[in-house]
Amino acid sequence: MKIGFIGLGNMGGPMAANLAAEGHDVIGFDMADVSIQGVTMAASGAEAATGADVVITMLPNGQILRAVADQVIPAMTAGAALVDCSTVDVDSARAVAEKCTAAGLLFVDAPVSGGIGGASAGTLTFMAGGSTDAFAAAKPLFDIMGQKAVHCGEAGAGQAAKICNNMILGVTMIATCEAFALADKLGLDRQKMFDVVSTSSGYSWTMNAYCPAPGVGPQSPSDNGYQPGFAAELMLKDLRLSQQAAQSADADTPMGELAQALYAQFVENEDGTGMDFSAMLPRFEKRSRG
């Protein structure tokens, strides 16, 4: 298959390398000067998209996705598929889907879960939105880059699933961190706290698999000085997307709103920039109630 791949950063780079390693003809483009094992670099997004069966994008946000889509859609062959794996707002995903349909192209929004480790290992989870035909066109590539692909519904459904998942993740991480900080102040040993909660009704992915307290639970960014991992500013971006969606859908999401405010405070006014999103724990430890 001929694949155009646009956006070869922390996530896109290893995803494109995995497709090339499976024998696909991968033509890449990135604004930055990058080189990826097995990927032939093009001079523009349009050049990478020309003659491709599938074009994959892995970009920072919806505004950039819309701009890139305007360049690549006219260069693509009718019947080809545009697969956006970035995390973007639902409206941008639907707007690009409409442009693809008008141009006779298939479109899938397919944001991922699994982070940089999953991108390198080819174990990402894809949550996809689009027609059955569009999902079928992308599925063989999801099978190379990931271990699971869920077809969530029509265009935009993948982004909807992603932002709902990450709203739960952000809220749960904050709850886990504030509980650890309370336990510390109550004189509870951290290992005992982990042993109880990880096997009790307070268990969660943030406690059991990504524990924000160093030295307890499996290895996580807390054991590495809170180097990301999943950066606090990316969590803030995703929480903002969920609140933007809640606003336009008229959904009441008070916990998501509070999580957004706390991550905004952490990233913009405290020392959260460049830290993993689990660094909320040392943040709570420094604070007192008043």
Query: Which residues carry out catalysis?
Result: 162
Alpha-carbon distance values, 46 to 55, 126, 181, 202 (Å): 10, 25, 51, 49
Residue 86 Cβ, how far from ligand NAD at the closest point, in Å? 4
- 6 is a contact residue toward ligand NAD (CB under 6 A): yes
Cα gap 68→62, rounded to integer Å? 10
- The single residue listed with the structure tokens 């909320």 is 280
Burial 65-74 (b: 16+ CB within 10 A, else e): bbebbebbbe
CB of 122 to ligand NAD, least distance (A): 14
151 pairs with which residues across the strands?
A: 128
Residue 38 in contact with ligand NAD, rule: CB under 6 A: no
State the minimum distance, in angstroms, from the CB of residue 74 to ligand NAD: 16
Q: Which residues contact 198 (CB under 8 A, 6 or more apart)?
A: 207, 208, 211, 217
* Subset of residues 67 to 96 that bind ligand NAD, contact rule: CB under 6 A: 68, 86-87
Instruction: Tell me if 164 contacts ligand NAD by CB under 6 A.
Output: no
Question: Rounded distance, CA 68 to CA 107, Å?
Answer: 14
Kindly give the interhelix angle for 132-145 and 12-21, rounded to the nearest 10 degrees. 90
Are residues 192 and 161 in contact, defined by beta-carbon separation less than 8 angstroms? no
Q: Which residue is nearest to ligand NAD (CB)?
A: 9
Binding mask 189-228 for ligand NAD (x = CB under 6 A): ----------------------------------------
Q: Does 41 bind ligand NAD (CB under 6 A)?
A: no
Look at strands 81-84 and 40-41 and give their pairing.
Answer: unpaired
Q: How many chain residues interact with ligand NAD (CB under 6 A)?
A: 24
Q: How far is the CB of 87 from ligand NAD (least distance, A)?
A: 4
Which one of the spans 59-67, 89-97, 133-141, 182-190 is the region binding ligand NAD (CB under 6 A)? Answer: 59-67
Give the residue, chosen from 4, 5, 8, 272, that forms a contact with ligand NAD under the rule CB under 6 A: 8
Point out which residues bind ligand NAD (CB under 6 A). 6-12, 29-32, 45, 58-60, 64, 68, 86-87, 112, 115-116, 230, 234
